[in-house]
Amino acid sequence: MSKVRVLVGTKKGAFILTSDGKRQNWEVSGPHFGGWEIYHVKASPVDPNRIYASQTSGWFGQIIQRSDDGGKTWNPPGTKPEDLMGPDGMPKGQSNMFLYEGEVGTHKFYDGSQHPWEFKRIWHIEPSTIDPDTAYAGAEDAAIFKTTDAGKTWKELSELRKAKGNLWQPGAGGMAVHTILLDPKNANRIYIAISAAGAFRTDDGGKTWKPINRGLKSNYELPDPDAEVGHCVHRIALHPSRPDVLFMQKHWDVLRTDNSGDEWKEVSGNLPTDFGFPIDVHAHEPETIYVVPITSDSLHYPPEGKLRVYRSKSGGNEWEALTKGLPQKDCYVNVLRDAMCVDSLEPCGVYFGTTGGQVYGSADSGTTWNPIVRDLPAVLSVEVQTLP
Amino acid sequence: MIRVVLPYHLRNLARVDGEVQLEVQPPVTVRSVLDAIEARYPVLRGTIRDHGTLKRRPFVRFFACKEDLSLEPPETQLPDTVVNGEEPFMIIGAIAGG
């Protein structure tokens, strides 16, 4: 019987939630890396026992952790005894090293001045769809790094920052590559998103990048309607069967593109508010998408104190509220951009975590919900693995 | 033998209990002790001082013999009582955040 393993990153550690394919009864393990901020935990689709985690701290910086046994044990890559010594006999210890390539350069700062890039943390790790030793990491300050040795060393794909990086500006949450989407049909194509710079695409494996923000409107924040960069993209998502179609939750507005980002159009439709953070796509229905509307950019909680996931079965514009099992009064949590995911069972499972520490799951494509856990630290990210 | 006290999270990361003891060749300085720690526990590289610049991370502090050495130059020689192991060199996570 199939199983699911939900990987939860929180403000104070990682948790692993496991269940059989019915997704009714859950076991909770953790906290792993207690006391550390775990921005993201994600497994290789090629080797499900290999899981990468971004462990970070305002005091002690960035650590990458890796498990090769499905999350039972963890090690920073390159610090096992057999990995310790480099050619000169000195320990390598490079798995935590994220250095910007070449001249560091500057980006636009809050006060409009130019500010040097400073590495702060890894927000998102995206393992390759074809090689378990290859993964990409999205950094704050915004940059993308790649490992081809299972996380022992990381190298920046620095051309991204040449895509008008001097005009990128941090949002209130910082300036990070928070989303990385790998095209499953074209190994050279990668999409990334940055708040508050926009979405970008490479078609040559990261050698060159271009902004893909045409059609985005940010009237108050960005007066220039033709601005190529500067849009506050909160999240983008795709269905693996149709990687030219992307869905976007922007600061305000939900959008889609049918041509790999060359042109976007708004599909907010009848949403009660089109501000929000996560967006995801049903595992078996490429036109079924999910968002969690949030009141506004000033009020980061659900409208009317009702936690509602909205589902569109038409790729946007027509949305239905999903409320069964979710709190419909006095609920003032947020759902962050990396905190929603879907499994690939039938029917599709949908999961999301809140800043109040709840992780909700639905085993029927979002129609009904149940809390898997209620009292974790604030949830930063949720990923799920569907296991045989 | 130099005794080093690591903060809770770095002890966990390095998988050590209690104090760390290190052989450090004289002159024993802040820098040479940190070099020795990182050589023994490579996972700690970047957690006490930044990769590349080797600057102390902002919320990490160094103490010895009740003196704050955080702002002293890395070449600062440590007191004899630290060099002979009577007193530990302490790496502290600053009280910050809330």
The pLDDT, as a whole number, for residue A225 is 77
- Are A85 and A145 in contact by the 8 Å Cβ rule? The answer is no
Which chain A residue's Cα is nearest to B42? A93
Based on its alpha-carbon atoms, the radius of gyration of chain B, rounded to whole angstroms, reads: 12
* Protein fold of A35-351: Methylamine Dehydrogenase; Chain H (2.130.10)
- Are A163 and A197 in contact by the 8 Å Cβ rule? The answer is no
Q: Domain of B47?
A: 2-93
The pLDDT, as a whole number, for residue A220 is 73
Low-confidence ranges of chain A (pLDDT < 50): 85-91
Instruction: Find the CATH number of the domain harbouring B23.
Output: 3.10.20.30
The pLDDT, as a whole number, for residue A221 is 74
From the list A59, A62, A79, the residue facing B60 with the nearest CB is A59
- Candidates B6, B8, B9: best to mutate against A (most CBs of A within 10 A) is B9
- How many domains does one find in chain B? 1
CA A303 to chain CA centroid, Å, is: 24
The pLDDT, as a whole number, for residue B81 is 97
Which chain A residue's Cα is nearest to B8? A35
Q: What is the DSSP string of B5-42?
A: EPPHHHHHHHT--S-EEE--PSS-BHHHHHHHHHHH-G
The pLDDT, as a whole number, for residue A23 is 98
From the list B7, B43, B97, the residue facing A76 with the nearest CB is B43
Asked whether the beta carbons of residue A90 and residue B39 sit closer than 8 angstroms, the reply is: yes
Q: What is the DSSP letter of A8?
A: E
Low-confidence ranges of chain B (pLDDT < 50): none
Asked whether the beta carbons of residue B94 and residue A59 sit closer than 8 angstroms, the reply is: yes
Q: What is the DSSP letter of B77?
A: B
The pLDDT, as a whole number, for residue A93 is 62
Q: Is residue B98 part of a domain?
A: no
CA atoms within 13 A on the CB side of A219: 2
The pLDDT, as a whole number, for residue A24 is 96
CA A15 to CA A41: how far, in whole Å? 9
The position carrying tokens 């102390």 is B56
The pLDDT, as a whole number, for residue B98 is 54
- Are A294 and A334 in contact by the 8 Å Cβ rule? The answer is yes
Q: Is residue B30 part of a domain?
A: yes
DSSP β-bridge partners for residue A106: A116
Task: Show the tokens assigned to A227.
Answer: 């601005």
For residue A160, count other CB atoms closer than 10 A to its CB. Answer: 21
The pLDDT, as a whole number, for residue B43 is 87
In chain A, what residues touch B13 (CB-CB under 8 Å)? Answer: 60, 63, 76
Nearest to A288 by CA among A225, A227, A367, A224: A367
Asked whether the beta carbons of residue B10 and residue A60 sit closer than 8 angstroms, the reply is: yes
pLDDT tens, position by position, A94-120: 788 999 998 889 999 988 899 999 999
The pLDDT, as a whole number, for residue A85 is 46
For residue A195, count other CB atoms closer than 10 A to its CB. Answer: 29
- Candidates A60, A83, A92, A117: best to mutate against B (most CBs of B within 10 A) is A60
The pLDDT, as a whole number, for residue B97 is 59
In chain B, what residues touch A86 (CB-CB under 8 Å)? Answer: none
In chain A, what residues touch B52 (CB-CB under 8 Å)? Answer: 97, 99
DSSP β-bridge partners for residue A137: A125, A145
Which chain B residue's Cα is nearest to A97? B51
The pLDDT, as a whole number, for residue A219 is 79
CA A324 to CA A317: how far, in whole Å? 22
In one-letter notation, the amino acid at residue A89 is: G
Asked whether the beta carbons of residue B46 and residue A96 sit closer than 8 angstroms, the reply is: yes
The pLDDT, as a whole number, for residue A255 is 98
Question: Can the peptide bond before residue A141 be classed as cis, meaning omega within 30 degrees of 0?
Answer: yes
The pLDDT, as a whole number, for residue A89 is 43
Q: What is the DSSP letter of A85?
A: B
CA distance to A12, A33, A270, B62, B71, per residue, from A36 (Å):
5, 6, 39, 21, 26
The pLDDT, as a whole number, for residue A72 is 95
Task: Show the tokens assigned to A151.
Answer: 């996380």
Which chain A residue's Cα is nearest to B6? A60
Query: What is the dihedral angle through the alpha carbons of A150, A341, A358, A270, rounded to the nearest 10 degrees?
Result: 150
CA distance to A98, A232, B54, per residue, from B50 (Å):
10, 29, 5
- Are B6 and B16 in contact by the 8 Å Cβ rule? The answer is yes
